[in-house]
A and B are shown apart, each in its own frame.
Chain A
Amino acid sequence: MKSLEELKKLRDLSRSKIEMRNSTDKKYRVVVGMATCGIAAGARPVLNALVEESAKGIYSCTVTQTGCIGMCSLEPIVEVYDETGAKTTYVKVDAAKAVEILKSHVGEGTVVEQYTVAAQK
């Protein structure tokens, strides 16, 4: 592993960012379905896009994985839970849509209506 020095630098960078990230209560919980159906449909790049984007530190959310959500034909699925536990389900998400959802819904509190399961025909 040639980049261990780089890892040490990233460790120190993380340490400096952690306080900022943990200083506020997380308002949202973002959940990605990562079962066989989700993976096959492309959920892994969606999760990684969400992790990378949320690392920028301006979002009040945690990103986690779950199993099969039950609508396999609409995968990849991303669920956003707000503080009250209310859930918005986004379907057929890709990496670009995931970043858009994060910016709009988590960042500004505006649901991206056209990607929700309710907007599916």
Chain B
Amino acid sequence: MMQDLAMTILDIANNSLAVKAQRIEIEIVDSDAKNLISIEIKDNGKGMSDDQIAQAIDPFYTTRKTRRIGLGIPFFKDLADLCEGSFSLKSDHGVQIYASMRKNHWDRPPMGDLGETISTLIQSDPDVHLILTITTDAETKKFDTEEIKVILEDISIAEPEILFWVKQTVNDLISS
């Protein structure tokens, strides 16, 4: 199990990068009114077959050939089970994976450093179009790499100064 939600998000979104998705949407709902935290990650990668979906929650299933376990998706499902939420995994032109948790549940991990998760994903693949939305009871906040790339002109979003700005901006977005 991961120590915080940001690590889990990084791990799941890395699956999308591994299948060469060009667009990844990360949608977080953080609601006190509904006593709910949910995380949905959607990509436009090559998707999964029905067979793969059925087997993906089994920790002893993996597509890689190097060894016979894969814990990313089982950890994500575990999070929902442990915190009395729900889990779903679908594939319709890409993959949509969702887990929710009771916000005040004992076992719900803290959010963690979401800014660092986003900057790490961008560092891994600067070309990916990443959209993060965080919906609280009051408002929906959005972070979209395309908007930043327009401002950056010829400068890569993966330049260290820019990555550091991304990390801080995302973390400011959550705390503000």
Interface residues of A in 9-42 (CB under 8 A from B): 10-11, 13-15, 17-18, 34-37, 39-40
Interface SS of chain A:
helix
User: How many angstroms between the C-alpha atoms of A51 and B124 in the bound complex?
Assistant: 12
Contact A11 B152 (CB under 8 A): yes
Instruction: Tell me the minimal C-beta distance from B66 to chain A in angstroms.
Output: 7
Chain B, interface size category, equals 35 or more
Query: Given contacts A18-B159, A55-B161, A65-B124, are A44 and B18 in contact (CB under 8 A)?
Result: no
User: B60 an interface residue at 8 Å Cβ cutoff?
Assistant: no
Neighbouring B residues of A70 by C-beta, 8 Å = 66-67
User: B87 an interface residue at 8 Å Cβ cutoff?
Assistant: no
Instruction: Tell me the minimal C-beta distance from A107 to chain B in angstroms.
Output: 16
Instruction: Tell me the minimal C-beta distance from A44 to chain B in angstroms.
Output: 5
Contact A35 B151 (CB under 8 A): no
Neighbouring B residues of A3 by C-beta, 8 Å = 165, 168-169, 172
User: How many angstroms between the C-alpha atoms of A7 and B168 in the bound complex?
Assistant: 11
Query: Given contacts A1-B143, A34-B124, A55-B160, are A7 and B148 in contact (CB under 8 A)?
Result: yes
Neighbouring A residues of B117 by C-beta, 8 Å = 44
Which A residue's beta carbon lies closest to that of B167?
A48
Chain B, 137-163, contact with A by CB distance < 8 Å: what is the 0/1 string? 000000100011001111100011111
Q: Which 7 A-B pairs have the closest CB atoms?
A: A55-B160, A14-B159, A10-B161, A36-B72, A65-B124, A14-B155, A36-B71
- Interface set of A (CB-CB < 8 Å, partner B): 1-4, 6-8, 10-11, 13-15, 17-18, 34-37, 39-40, 44-45, 47-48, 51-52, 54-55, 63, 65, 67-68, 70
- Interface set of B (CB-CB < 8 Å, partner A): 1-3, 7, 10-11, 14, 18, 64, 66-67, 70-72, 75, 113, 116-117, 119-120, 123-124, 143, 147-148, 151-155, 159-165, 167-169, 172-173
A-B contact pairs, 29 of them (CB 8 A): A1-B169, A3-B165, A3-B168, A3-B169, A3-B172, A10-B161, A11-B155, A14-B161, A15-B154, A18-B155, A34-B10, A34-B14, A34-B120, A35-B14, A36-B70, A39-B10, A39-B14, A44-B7, A44-B10, A44-B116, A47-B120, A48-B119, A48-B120, A48-B167, A51-B160, A51-B163, A55-B160, A55-B164, A65-B123
